Each structure stands twice: as C-alpha cells, then as structure tokens.
Amino acid sequence: MTTRTTSETVTFLHPFLLSGADEVQTAGRYVVETDEILIQALSFPAYRRLSTFIHLAGRPNSSELARVVQIDPAELAAALATDAQAQETVPTRTDRTATGADHDRKRRAKGFVMDDWKRWVALNTTELRWTALVVGGVALAALFT
C-alpha cells in the first residue's frame, strides 16, 4: 500500500487547547503532518487519512525538547477558526484611536494628492495647451485623410 505524508504550518495568534495535548499551547507557528493511504480500488488517485500529528514544544519542567501529538483534524480546524474569530473582536479604546488616526492620515493624503494635482495643472498649463494643440492637429489631419 502506498502512503504519503503531507506537512503544513499553521499559525495561532492566541493560546489554544487541543484534546491530544495536556495543557494550553502558546501562540505561534506549528507544523502539522497528515499521513494518508492510497485507495487502490478507484480508477483515479484518492487518499484516505490515517492520522494527523502536530509538533509541539516539550512540556515545562521536563527533559523533553519537543513532542509529536496525534490530533483530530476537525478539532484543529475548529481551534484555528476560533483563533481567527478572536482577531475580529471589537477594537479596544487604543485601537479606535489608532483607527481614527489612520482615517485622518488617509484623508490628509487624499487632500495632498488633490492639492498636488491642482498645482501641477497650474504649473504645466503651457505643456497642456501644446499637448491639446498637437492632439487636435493629429485628429484634424486624420479627419481630412
């Protein structure tokens, strides 16, 4: 039987808990490996999941440097979804201030661009007139040919 192992890195922005691990894990990047077996009975390649493992740091107050724990992929997906939802919470007071500052900065930048555009037009009126004359002349010449 043919087996394959796929590996992916998942990122948690908040501490999380999985039933395969004894304690809450810290936020960070974790490698998740999935072992699958090729289903021979089909006319096209298809794989069935055998197991899913996550690489964790060793337990505190132990000699472990790292450990690999078998987990439920559905539980991992739920933990990642919960972590993503935690990012979408209502911003705190300091976040609102930062958001307001960002809005003001964008508004000032837009005004800056508009002011610069008006200034450019005022300084380049001669070039704009020549451009209009050339384009008009070409259009007129094309009309008569």
Question: Which pLDDT tens digits describe the chain residue by residue (145 residues)?
Answer: 688 999 999 999 999 999 888 788 999 999 999 999 998 888 888 889 999 999 998 887 888 888 999 999 999 999 999 988 876 664 555 544 455 556 666 666 555 555 555 555 555 556 667 677 778 888 888 888 7
Radius of gyration of the chain (CA): 31
- Are 13 and 81 in a shared domain? yes
Among 62, 87, 112, the domain boundary falls at 87
Q: Pick the closest to residue 69 from 36, 23, 100 (CA basis).
A: 23
Please state, in angstroms and rounded to a whole number, the distance separating the CA atoms of residues 7 and 69: 14
The residue range of the domain holding 71 is 3-87
- Are 54 and 120 in a shared domain? no
- Are 37 and 20 in a shared domain? yes
- Are 76 and 119 in a shared domain? no
Q: Across-strand partners of 12? A: 28
pLDDT value of residue 5: 93
pLDDT value of residue 96: 47
- Are 32 and 74 in a shared domain? yes
